[in-house]
Copies of this chain bind each other. A is one copy, B any other.
Amino acid sequence: MARWEPNASQRLADAALELFAERGYENTTVLDIAKRAGLTKSTFFRHFQDKRGVLFGEDALIEPLAAAIAATPAGATPLEAMAHGFDALGRHVFTPDRRAFTVRRREVIDAHPDLREREALKSMSLTAALTAAMERRGAPALLAAVSAQLGALTLKTAYERWSDPGNTDEFSDIARQTLSEVQAAVSAVHRGTRGPR
């Protein structure tokens, strides 16, 4: 029976990130990653489907986001519910000690088309999960979809700002600030701001 390996998924992701940076994504094998992490190839495949998956393991975002949205009081607006979700990410996922990993992960993904493609799919799943979370709060389909698109845009923008090495603010502060900017933009679209300004 397989031995339980503490924190195997994160160890594999850390090892992969090191190797991708050292010798390139193409020149790194699953066996290389497992060895560097002090684990076996079969442990790798218990956690990830393929090499491409190793930086996208956990769907770590969807669960805390969806849980926080579900726990937001019924009277809240769609974007208030999103804000609660982002606070939860700041507490549980985008914590200050994860920033260095995130910055390096961002660089590796940006450098490789295969990884950008996988990220696009993940981002689509995230938007779908946000839409479902809003529908469970009773939002009609298109209101749920619009809220989810705005939430996903806020999250992407806040994540980029947070994983900028020059930024030292906490994720939840950045996310709240970004959300208020997105709200201002929505308000401009709603008013029908015309042309260049």
A: residues with CB less than 8 A from B are 74-80, 116-118, 120-121, 123-124, 137-140, 142-143, 145-147, 149-150, 152-153, 157, 181-182, 184-190, 192-197
| Contact yes or no, B75 A186, CB < 8 A | no
Q: Which chain B positions have C-beta within 8 A of A184?
A: 142
A142 to B80, CA, bound (A): 19
Q: Which chain B positions have C-beta within 8 A of A189?
A: 77-79, 143, 146-147, 150, 186
Closest to A147 in B: B189
A138 with B197: in contact, given A120-B117, A120-B124 (CB under 8 Å)?
yes
A143 to B75, CA, bound (A): 28
16 CB-based A-B contacts, threshold 8 Å:
A74-B195, A75-B195, A77-B192, A78-B193, A117-B121, A137-B196, A140-B185, A142-B181, A143-B188, A143-B193, A146-B153, A146-B182, A146-B186, A149-B150, A186-B189, A186-B190
Majority DSSP secondary structure for residues of A touching B: helix
- Please give the distance in Å from A26's CB to the nearest CB on chain B: 16
Q: Which chain B positions have C-beta within 8 A of A197?
A: 138, 140
- Please give the distance in Å from A97's CB to the nearest CB on chain B: 29
- Please give the distance in Å from A144's CB to the nearest CB on chain B: 9
